[in-house]
Amino acid sequence: MTKWLFIAAGGAFGSVMRYAVHGWVQRATNSNFPWGTLAVNVVGCAMIGFLAAAFEGPRPIREEYRLAIIVGVLGGFTTFSTFGWETFSLASDRQFAFAVLNVMLGCGVGLLAVWAGYKISQSFFGI
């Protein structure tokens, strides 16, 4: 149960940080391009790579703390960091076909799901 609480607390913090960083970057760029989302995703990917290596190597930490940071904070900050890490891990394990498949399915099917959800909502609400 402790792990779940650590993850929940980390997720709350990560979500608030995502909102803050996204908003700050978007206001600073004053652009229609989603720079805030891009910044959050890139920072999240860099952090998960850095921390995953640190926690496996010179700085091992207790599992519940690792989960709170990686799953909670970074998961709340951006799930794109997990997508990036899993794709990197597949490629590092020389499972290149799975790495490419993960990118193609994650992006392609994800966009298709957004489109389908949008169309279903339009139909449901008569928009």
CA distance 70 to 51: 8
At position 49, the amino acid (one-letter code) is G
The amino acid sitting at 109 is V
pTM, 2 dp: 0.77
Stronger pLDDT, 110 or 69, i.e. the higher one = 69
CA dihedral 87, 92, 95, 101 (to 10 degrees): 20
Residue 23: exposed, middle, or buried by beta-carbon count in 10 A (0-12, 13-18, 19+)? Answer: exposed
Poorest-confidence range of 56-65, 67-76, 101-110, 114-123? Answer: 56-65
**Residue 33 identity:** F
Average pLDDT for 109-120? 90
- Pick the closest to residue 46 from 81, 79, 11, 90 (CA basis): 81
109 within 8 A of 102, measured Cβ to Cβ: no
Residue closest to 48 by CA, chosen among 20, 77, 24: 77
pLDDT at 18: 94
Give 35-93 pLDDT, tens digit per residue. 998 999 999 999 998 998 888 877 778 999 999 999 999 999 988 888 998 999 999 99
